[in-house]
């Protein structure tokens, strides 16, 4: 018991930043596309929980991701409604064309999306991994010449396994993570896109990556396909990672990764972190309420166990 309390006290001042990805990654693959009003309401509710980073949309062709066709209206809403706050609203810009449009609308943080495997890169962006990095150079150049400060975050997908190429070598992930940093990304989010990771494979991957990129420049992005999402997040946090991507109500998946169910639920992650002595700055009750609300809006079950339990308990008090 004393050891447990001592461990919690050791983490008591450790802050973990949550990157909420539901408005973009969570909604991009919904069969029934939510209205712009639903999306902006979701963003507003997420900001009200205390989240400091909310990824809101992507500047991609509506032909490929029709759910993001209202990207201009979404980013304008964020800038007009929350422009005076400290909340960051990153947007995904996979190429120079998307980047140019995002910058014209005043984006202050963008994200680029790389794969660890050629099979996934070809399916997702119609090019090899090396060809995708050539595209990123144009995006980073635009960021440097934007006329206002623009942060660029790098996503690195399929870091544990690929649905087309099989298991991913940790050394390959480490090499590509360093390439993203060398390009100018301030942070690399390591994504277990198809959710095949376990705490053991996450540890092996991070052990290699951290030899080339410091923990403070890394984030973990877990999927819960095999029920390992929270365990994988906590393993990464225990190893020194202090940024976690998550999606309220476990929304999302990947349109190019068949069978890859939702992102790890933000409510589950925050519950686990708070219970382990970490601080996130997030109001868990408001977060659970938001997860229940968006699930009902979408007409789908709430994918967060912690969220459902907290919401049910709070309803019993009313």
What's the length of the chain?
318
pLDDT value of position 4: 53
Spatial distance between the Cα atoms of 94 and 152, rounded to a whole number of angstroms:
11
The H or E element spanning position 183 is helix 170-183
Cα 287 to Cα 117, 132, 188, 226, 247, distances in angstroms? 34, 36, 25, 24, 11
Spatial distance between the Cα atoms of 27 and 275, rounded to a whole number of angstroms:
28
Supply φ then ψ for residue 132, to 5 degrees.
Answer: -65, -35
pLDDT value of position 125: 82
Q: Per-block average pLDDT, block size 10, for the chain (318 residues)?
A: 53 84 94 95 99 98 92 98 95 95 97 96 89 94 94 98 96 98 98 96 99 98 96 98 98 62 93 98 99 96 96 91
| CATH, domain 16-317, list 3.20.20.70, 3.80.30.20, 3.90.110.10, 3.40.50.1360 | 3.20.20.70
Residue 83 CB neighbours (<10 A)? 11
Spatial distance between the Cα atoms of 20 and 300, rounded to a whole number of angstroms:
19
Assign residue 143 a region (left: φ > 0; alpha: ψ between -120 and 50; beta: otherwise): alpha
pLDDT value of position 258: 57
pTM over cut 0.85: yes
DSSP 8-class letter at 189: E
Dig out the tokens for 217 from the structure: 């420049």
Residues 231 and 199 sit within 8 Å (Cβ to Cβ): yes
Strands 218-222, 187-192: parallel, antiparallel or unpaired by DSSP? parallel
Residues 58 and 91 sit within 8 Å (Cβ to Cβ): yes
Cα 13 to Cα 50, 52, 217, distances in angstroms? 17, 18, 19
Spatial distance between the Cα atoms of 233 and 252, rounded to a whole number of angstroms:
17
**Which residues form the catalytic set?**
254
pLDDT value of position 6: 53
Reference 286, options 263, 267, 258; nearest CA is 267
Residues 6+ apart with CB under 8 A from 184: 140, 143, 144, 152
Dig out the tokens for 297 from the structure: 């809006």
Cα 248 to Cα 116, 221, 284, distances in angstroms? 26, 13, 11
């Amino acid at each position: 018991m004393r050891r447990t309390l001592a461990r919690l006290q050791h983490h008591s001042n450790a802050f973990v930043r949550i990157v909420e990805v539901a408005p973009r990654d969570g909604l991009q693959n919904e069969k029934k596309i939510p209205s712009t009003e639903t999306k902006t309401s979701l963003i507003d509710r997420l900001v009200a929980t205390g989240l400091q980073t909310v990824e809101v949309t992507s500047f991609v062709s509506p032909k490929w991701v029709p759910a993001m066709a209202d990207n201009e209206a979404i980013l304008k809403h964020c800038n007009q409604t929350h422009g005076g706050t400290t909340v960051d609203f990153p947007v995904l810009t996979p190429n120079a064309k998307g980047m140019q449009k995002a910058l014209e609308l005043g984006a202050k943080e963008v994200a680029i999306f790389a794969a660890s495997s050629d099979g996934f890169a070809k399916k997702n962006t119609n090019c090899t991994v090396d060809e995708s990095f050539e595209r990123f150079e144009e995006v980073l150049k635009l960021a440097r010449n934007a006329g206002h400060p623009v942060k660029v975050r790098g996503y690195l997908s399929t870091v544990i396994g690929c649905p087309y190429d099989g298991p991913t070598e940790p050394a390959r992930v480490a090499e590509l993570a360093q390439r993203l940093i060398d390009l100018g990304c301030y942070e690399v989010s390591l994504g277990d896109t198809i959710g095949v990771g376990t705490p053991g494979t996450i540890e092996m991957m991070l052990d290699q990556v951290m030899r080339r990129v410091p923990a403070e420049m890394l984030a973990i992005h877990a999927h819960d396909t095999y029920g390992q999402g929270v365990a994988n997040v906590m393993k990464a946090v225990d190893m020194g990672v202090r940024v976690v991507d998550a999606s309220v109500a476990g929304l999302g998946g990947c349109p190019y990764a068949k069978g890859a169910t939702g992102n790890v639920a933000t409510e589950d992650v925050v519950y686990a972190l708070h219970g382990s002595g970490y601080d996130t700055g997030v109001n868990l009750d408001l977060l659970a309420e938001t997860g229940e609300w968006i699930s009902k809006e979408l007409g789908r079950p709430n994918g967060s166990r912690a969220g459902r339990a907290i919401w049910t308990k709070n309803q019993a008090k009313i």
